[in-house]
Structure 1
Amino acid sequence: MGRARGKAIGTALVGSLGEALGRCQLASLSALALPFYGGLVVAALLLLPVGLGFPLLPPAAAALRRHVDRQRSRTARWTATGPPSPRPLPRSARTVLGDEEFWRELRWAWLEPVTGGLLVAVPLSLFWYGVFGALVQPFVWRELGDGNWYGFVRVDSPGTAVAALLLGLALIAGALRLAPLALDRHARWTRWALSAPYRAELVRRIDHLTGTRADALDTQAAELRRIERDLHDGAQARLVALGMTLERATGLVDSDPAAARVLLTEVRAASERALQDLRELVHGILPPVLADRGLGDAVRSLALDSFLDVEVEVAPAPGRLPAAVESAAYFAVAELLANAAKHSGAREVRIALGHADGLLRVSVADDGRGGADPDRGGGLLGVRRRLGAFDGTLALDSPPGGPTLAILELPCASSSPKTSSCSGTD
């Protein structure tokens, strides 16, 4: 039993180290591709004086950003020291030139191959050199002649071939052990190179909080106006009419009981309509299923109400999330479903809810025609502002022709002992 357990632990350890080596390989290949994207940007910059660079710079900067974002994503998945997500890239050449993050990414694109790329290449070089010594050298040393050296071993006899084999195995083991350390150092370098200075990050944070606070106040004011309008035009108007009808019925009770009964029947119907208006108003503020059953069941309710084919996958949460977080996520999903139904021509939608590292993560994917853009305003901009009030984000991938993938992330830590801190895993 103990031997089997030890064997399983050893296999898992070797597998983990081998995975780290594979990640080093991927990071090294990514570093080799960076000069290509950096070269596109430099070419566009050089063409600016003659005017040709202005239409070329934004797409070149966007291509560089996509490649850098892939490295950001990998680093965040592999280690705990991933670089922060950047602000959206400006759309015009002049604003790109004034964007500090663009210049940091361009600098990193040229430095990465000779810094981080070489760092992750060290365990790779040791590994393949070890493979040559352990698997190739013992069989070809006779053909390589008297000047055949493997490391510090001169391989010219069966005994020295065995020594080369042992040295190769040692190098392979060293490479596997060194790979996680190289990945960690590479992640630290990437974070340092792509992160803004503390003062600039603090200014950016203050600007972000100021903007989200203003958006939250505007959203709250608009919501209050909507509630007031719905009450005035709906339930309030019905209740006023109900009171007037009751007054007429009261005056006819003695003189014309039959007419009074008709009016009382109208009063009952008017009260039912007023109650329905109030229920709809409350549902627009906080749906009862959300308050009673939580976000997962509330999203399933949205799926049942949609005429699209909606599949919902909910990872178990450690507990109830804060009510404000659940409400923001619910209405964001509702808006995305409405957009898929109205504008995208989608037939199927897949919704997945997960919780990890203090974040609520919701992905909404549809098979529609794509082309959605929050910067054009409308409901998607409202979703981004609603999430921004909670320090959340909306990432949208919606190329023309589809499909569309929207990823919502919301911090869900709460000081309440009855709510979840989202510390579970997906």
Structure 2
Amino acid sequence: MSQLNAIRTRVRGVPRTAGRSIVLSFASLAGSLTLFVWAVLSIACVPLGIGLITTPYVLNLTRRHALRRRLLAATWCGVRVPVPYRPFPGDLRTGVVGQVERTSLMLKDPATWRDLRWLMVDMTAGYLLVTLAAALLIYPVEGFVLAAGLWRVFTDDRYWYGFVPVDSQATGLAAAALGVAILAIGLLASEPLLRVHFLLTRAMLAPSQEEELVRRIDRLTETRHEAVDTAASELRRIERDLHDGAQARLVAMGMNLGVVEALIEKDPAQAKKLLAMARESSAEALTELRDLVRGIHPPVLAERGLGDAVRALALRLPVEAEVLVELGGRADAAVESAAYFAVSESLTNVVKHSGADRVQVDVRHVRGALRVCVTDNGSGGAKVGGGSGLSGIERRLGTFDGVMAVSSPAGGPTMVTMEIPCELS
């Protein structure tokens, strides 16, 4: 029964797989071939000066083409291809001088030459793979048409379908039988061929082990400095909150108690009032200390884990919130803390900036990584570096070699996906 269901699923997926193969074959031949020719001509014209202006635009188009293929690889076949492009410095100049600098930086980036190498492979071997996948699913249709007696439409004499000469109804049925065999092969081979296509893409676009190690070291060095700066900033915030909040209230309470000590015999009524004020100050100071401790490391996170801590966050939101948690254990305390505060900042952004009335938080452990998705139905338009706090979340996750992706088209919805590599206990 299960095998029959699997066959039905594959048959239903024929139009989808064929459509994907056709899209990829067009992108591989027309897109990759065009971009490769443009890129080669533009780079060849760099010594003439023209290429200094055109090369950044052409290479940007190439990168977008490669990024779209990475996205299709992840969504269609679950093949993840890293994005190792070096970021441009923040002080990059504009105008002609800026274009020259961009050209120099892009040509020095090893990922640029991997893109060009991939274009060559994609318009040859990549094209053949997806074309074969499409042909195995589309070509059998012709055999079924011939079996219906329509072979006379193609020719009055004899029509060849594969190795079958069709000139009668019997040979038309033989063509249909051949079409069934080809379709069976296509059902078995089309999806693996698509996956091989994307694995070939990853082999061409992914950095070598040495390059990945260098990039990882650079990233860890950068995130280490950011973590030190963040820790120092957090200590200054705690010191400021203690000085302006709980410490001030405790000083005032001590002064009130000193006055009470002096008035306890002379003016008992006034002493009672001051004692009541001191009690209120102590309660307010205790509340502020609890809030401060919760901001450093929430007790519910330490006692109940990330799932319950996120649920507690959602209960305090002024919008409708849904929390889905699928965790088979607990991550390290530092990873849980980073994920908790990343979710907290994301939910704060939802309340402050999105205008949403509903938010969903999905927490799960997938393929060796803690993945958290925060989705709202707000107005969209969120982006990293736009003053919405997303840059801080990215830096926090980067300390643990984590990543963040933001999908926020104009009009919404907004989805912030965060991943931190970790294992659950």
For normalisation by structure 1, the TM-score amounts to: 0.82
Question: 2:240 pairs with 202, 214, 229, which one?
Answer: 229
Question: By how many angstroms is 1:108 displaced?
Answer: 1.7
- Does residue 270 (structure 1) correspond to residue 267 (structure 2)? The answer is no
Structure 2 counterpart of 1:73: 71
Counterpart amino acid of 2:125?
T
What's the counterpart of residue 169 of structure 2? 158
Q: 2:132 aligns with which of 113, 116, 122?
A: 122
CA contact (8 A) 2:360 2:375 kept: yes
Within the candidate set 372, 378, 383, 2:383 is matched to 372
Q: Which segment is superposed worse, 225-234 or 191-200?
A: 225-234
Cα distance change of structure 1 residues 305 and 35 upon mapping to structure 2, 3 Å threshold: farther
Gaps of 5+ in 1: 417-426
| Counterparts of residues 281-320 of structure 1 (less than 5 Å) | 281-291=292-302, 294-303=305-314, 305-307=316-318, 309-320=319-330
**Deviation sequence 1:16-67 (CA, Å, 0-9, x none):** 6775555434432432433445566557656756766666555554443333
Deviation at 1:119, TM superposition (A): 1.0
Q: Using the TM superposition, give the Cα deviation of residue 348 of structure 1 relative to its aligned residue in structure 2, in angstroms.
A: 4.3
Answer with 170-179 or 404-413: which moved more: 404-413
Aligned to 1:115, what secondary structure does the other structure show?
A: helix
- Asked if the contact 2:359/2:377 (under 8 Å) is kept, the reply is yes
Structure 2 partner of 1:191: 202
Deviation at 1:74, TM superposition (A): 2.5
What secondary structure is seen at the aligned counterpart in 2 of 1:318? coil
Q: What does the per-residue CA deviation read over 1:252-271, in whole Å, with 9 as the maximum and x for residues that have no partner?
A: 33444333323322221221
User: Are residue 24 (structure 1) and residue 35 (structure 2) matched?
Assistant: no
Q: Tell me whether 1:8 sits opposite 2:5 in the alignment.
A: yes
Unaligned runs of at least 5 residues, structure 2? 90-101
SS at match of 1:141: helix
Task: Work out whether residues 381 and 410 of structure 2, in 8 Å CA contact, stay in contact via their aligned partners in 1.
Answer: yes
Instruction: Give the share of equivalent positions with the same residue, in percent.
Output: 41
Three-state SS of the structure 1 residue aligned to 2:420 is strand
Q: What is the distance in 2 between the residues matched to 1:129 and 1:232?
A: 77
Residues 399 and 389 (structure 1 numbering): CA distance in 2 closer, same or farther, change over 3 Å?
same
Question: d(CA) in 2 for partners of 1:129 and 1:286?
Answer: 62
RMSD (Å) for aligned C-alpha atoms: 3.3
Mapped to 1, the partners of 2:270 and 2:401 lie a distance apart of 60
Q: In 2, Cα distance between the equivalents of 1:77 and 1:186?
A: 14
State the alpha-carbon separation in 1 of the partners of residues 359 and 43 from structure 2. Answer: 42
Letter in 2 for 1:116: G
Deviates more, 1:162-171 or 1:350-359: 350-359
CA distance in 2, matches of 1:19, 1:122: 15
Cα deviations across residues 143-188 of structure 1 (Å, max 9, x unaligned)?
5243522222222333322222211211111122221331232122
Structure 1, 265-274 or 332-341: larger mean CA deviation: 332-341
Call closer, same or farther: CA 1:219–1:299 in 2, change over 3 Å.
same
Whichever residue aligns with residue 259 of structure 1, its letter is Q
- Matched residue, 1:423: none
- Looking at structure 2, the residues matched to 9 and 399 of structure 1 have their Cα atoms a distance apart, in angstroms, of 36
Q: Which of 261, 271, 280 is the equivalent residue of 1:260?
A: 271
Change (3 A) 1:113 1:315: farther
Distance 1:53 1:365 in 2: 44
Residue correspondences, number: 409
Which stretch shifts more, 131-140 or 384-393?
Answer: 131-140
Contact 1:365 1:406 in 2 (8 A): no
Aligned 8 A contact 1:368 1:402 in 2: yes
Contact 1:333-1:364 within 8 A present in 2 as well: no
Matching residue of 2:82: 84
Q: Which amino acid in structure 2 is aligned with residue 11 of structure 1?
A: R
Tell me, in whole angstroms, the C-alpha distance in 2 between the residues paired with 1:400 and 1:6. Answer: 44
Counterpart for residue 101 of structure 1: 111
> Is the alpha carbon distance of 1:114 and 1:158 closer, same or farther for their aligned partners in structure 2, counting shifts above 3 Å?
same
Q: Secondary structure at the match of 1:280?
A: helix
CA contact (8 A) 1:314 1:352 kept: yes
Query: After the TM superposition, which of the residue ranges 198-207 and 402-411 deviates more from structure 2?
Result: 402-411
User: Per-residue CA shift, 1:288-323, capped at 9, x if unaligned?
Assistant: 45445554554455455445x454352533344444
Residues 76-104 of structure 1: CA deviation (Å, up to 9, x unaligned) = 34445432233465484443333222332
Q: Is the 8 A contact 1:296 1:353 kept in 2?
A: no
Match of 1:410 among 397, 400, 420: 420
Give SS of 2:326's match: coil
Aligned to 1:387: 397
CA contact (8 A) 2:42 2:51 kept: yes
- In structure 2, the partner of 1:350 is 359
Q: In 2, Cα distance between the equivalents of 1:361 and 1:173?
A: 40
Q: Distance in 2 between matches of 1:352 and 1:259?
A: 53
Q: Could you tell me how far apart the structure 2 residues matched to 1:141 and 1:280 are?
A: 81
Q: For residues 352 and 37 of structure 1, what CA distance do their matches in structure 2 show?
A: 40
Q: Which of 329, 335, 343 is matched with 2:339 structurally? A: 329
Q: Distance in 2 between matches of 1:243 and 1:334?
A: 36
> Distance between the aligned counterparts of 1:269 and 1:35, measured in 2?
76
Q: Is the 8 A contact 2:373 2:415 kept in 1?
A: no
Q: Where do 1:136-215 residues align within 5 Å?
A: 136=146, 139-143=149-153, 144-215=155-226
Query: Which deviates more from structure 2 when the two are superposed, residues 240-249 or residues 288-297?
Result: 288-297
